[in-house]
Amino acid sequence: NNRELSEEVFERVKVLFPFLYDINLTGGGENFLYPKFFEIVELIKKYKVYTITSTNGVLIDKEKARQLVLSSFGLLSISIDGATKETLERIRRGADFENLIKNVKRINFFKRGYKKNRPKLKFHFVAMRDNIEELPKLVELAHELWVEEVSVAYLTVPFKELEDKSLFFYKELSDKFMLLSKKRGEELKVKVVLPPLFRDGTSKVEGRRKICHSPWLYAAISIDGKVYPCCVSSMEMGDLKNDDFETIWHGQNYIRLRRTVNSNDPLPECKNCYHHATMDPNRIESHIPYLGKK
């Protein structure tokens, strides 16, 4: 939508760089469209902050690949929802399978040339009926391309037209290819991170809640300066156009959140947070959230 990080907001954010352990440069769109992306990366590099970003891989030309390696970028997560040209380009409109593969090879070329082991490369795969049978092949592709990890998430269905793509309706098929991919990863020494399997049943995850550390450790800052407690929250903690970060961090909104988030009476958004509970694949709302609200 042509929105970009403003100079005003960036000036408020960059004062935090000396105090960070890691930073995820992700804005909801394709990060390499931002013309000043590597200016920010070079500034962060001075403070030795572990830097993460995600991409569809299409825009990583030769110069960007070189810069990623020379900047000692920490982790590059590449969204890839198919192991073949046909599947990827059907699921992701505008994707270019051959170009993506070429760009991953470019990064590896510079890693070898400069004798660097960063950035770590990861494939992120959104699993659905249309692509689950290609997951073991994606692990093999990762091995061929020196991609160290394949992480898998179930498709979260946003609207009715995609309901039949959900693996909730293909449980045995899903578990079969998840397990095959895990086995293939062990054989090829590719780390495969899977979501909970359907076969494990509800009993293993029912009632288990995770302690949330986000209000003490993290913050998500939007391109317009709004501050949120994490990347999945819509609760606004403050606005950097009105206050500095320290004021927001110690403000009443954060105080209330920290007091309640791990209590028996969390705020409504936290109570229903799927990150705060162990994901149960056998509940339909884990895959199609709006059906769980009925």
Per the domain annotation, does 98 fall within a domain? yes
Cα 55 to Cα 95: distance, rounded to the nearest angstrom: 11
Query: For the domain that residue 153 is a member of, what is the CATH number?
Result: 3.20.20.70
Mark whether 195 and 273 lie in a shared domain: no
Residues 6+ apart with CB under 8 A from 108: 121, 145, 146
Q: Are 90 and 128 in contact, with CB atoms under 8 Å apart? A: no
In a domain, 132, yes or no: yes
Shared domain for 218 and 166, answered yes or no, is: no
Residue 85 has φ and ψ, to the nearest 5°, of: -60, -45
Domain span at 62:
56-203
- The reply to whether 111 and 172 lie within a common domain is yes
Cα–Cα dist 12/199, whole Å: 48
Phi, psi of 170 (to 5 degrees): -140, 55
- Of 214, 211, 257, 218, the C-alpha closest to 235 is 257
Burial of residue 82 (number of CB atoms within 10 Å: 0-12, 13-18, 19+): buried
pLDDT tens figures, 245-280: 999 999 999 999 999 999 988 888 887 676 666 678
The answer to whether residues 266 and 186 belong to one domain is no
How many CA atoms lie less than 13 Å away from 92 in the CB half-sphere? 21
> Is 149 inside a domain boundary?
yes
Per-residue pLDDT of the chain (294 residues; tens, 9 = 90+): 557 788 888 899 999 999 999 999 987 788 998 888 999 999 999 999 999 999 999 999 999 999 999 998 999 999 999 999 999 999 998 899 999 999 999 999 999 999 999 999 999 999 999 999 999 999 999 999 999 999 999 999 988 889 999 999 999 999 999 999 999 999 999 999 999 999 986 655 555 567 899 999 999 999 899 999 998 888 999 999 999 999 999 999 999 999 999 998 888 888 767 666 667 888 888 898 878 654
The answer to whether residues 68 and 76 touch, using CB atoms and an 8 Å cutoff, is yes
The CA distance from 161 to 163, in Å, is 6
SS3 197: coil
CA distance 262 to 212: 7
Q: How far is CA 275 from the centre of its chain?
A: 13
Q: Select from 30, 17, 100, 21 the least CA-distant residue to 65.
A: 100
Is there a single domain that holds both residue 218 and residue 199? no
